[in-house]
């Protein structure tokens, strides 16, 4: 009972400013609405993501490589994570942002419905200087865990600035404590 209360009712006072390099099975499940209001990042770093078609938005933290050699997951189910070894959103190259499908107790994580995005739909990423980048989805795939990294790192050579969003999908394996599939949305920069 204490674990449930702590995970779902401890309001984060701030959003993590350091690079997250440890993925946890028990991320915080309290929406950091107040903390997101005052969240600051470098001018050219991603600060917020807004996906109107899914009616979701949230702060973007920085994530690196975790203890398993994979891209770390954000420490809160309502925040997304920009992978620092990918391009900055809005710059040439491939940017990667990950997010949770659900938490242990709450199911409404930031990327819970990522698989419902459709080709042609748009979303925005706001930078630290409040510049808004508009992206358009051109591909939505659900792939096996074995094929996830190749799909995630695939960049369309005809697109200068690409952003791939990723979350878990498929069914949850209690033995490995992982979902067996990944949902990957690929989008191209339309405008700033």
pLDDT digits (tens, 9 = 90+) for 143-186: 998 999 999 999 999 999 999 999 999 888 888 778 899 999 99
Is-above-0.75 flag for pTM?
A: yes
Residue 178 is predicted with a pLDDT of 81
Query: Rounded to whole angstroms, how far apart are CA atoms 58 and 50?
Result: 7
- Please name each of the domains of the chain with its CATH number: 2-191 (2.40.260.10)
Query: Rounded to whole angstroms, how far apart are CA atoms 22 and 56?
Result: 25
Residue 34 is predicted with a pLDDT of 80
Query: Rounded to whole angstroms, how far apart are CA atoms 140 and 130?
Result: 28
* Cα 99–Cα 170–Cα 25 angle in degrees, nearest 5: 50
Structure tokens at 148: 């996830």
Residue 7 is predicted with a pLDDT of 54
pLDDT greater than 90 at residue 79: yes
């Amino acid at each position: 009972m204490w674990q449930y209360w702590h995970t779902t009712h401890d309001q984060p006072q701030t959003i993590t400013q350091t690079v997250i390099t440890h993925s946890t099975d028990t991320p915080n499940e309290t929406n950091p609405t107040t903390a997101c209001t005052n969240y600051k990042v470098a001018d050219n770093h991603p600060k917020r993501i807004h996906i109107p078609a899914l009616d979701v938005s949230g702060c973007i933290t920085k994530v690196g490589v975790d203890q398993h050699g994979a891209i770390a997951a954000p420490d809160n189910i309502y925040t997304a994570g920009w992978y620092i070894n990918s391009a900055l959103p809005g710059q040439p190259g491939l940017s990667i942002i990950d997010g949770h499908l659900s938490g242990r107790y709450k199911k409404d994580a930031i990327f819970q419905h990522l698989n419902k995005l459709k080709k042609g739909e748009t979303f925005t990423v706001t930078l630290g200087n409040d510049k808004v980048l508009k992206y358009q989805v051109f591909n939505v795939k659900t792939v096996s865990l074995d094929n996830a990294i190749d799909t995630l790192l695939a960049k369309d050579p005809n697109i200068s600035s690409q952003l791939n969003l990723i979350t878990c999908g498929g069914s949850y394996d209690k033995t490995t404590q992982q979902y067996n599939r990944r949902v990957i949305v690929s989008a191209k920069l339309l405008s700033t």
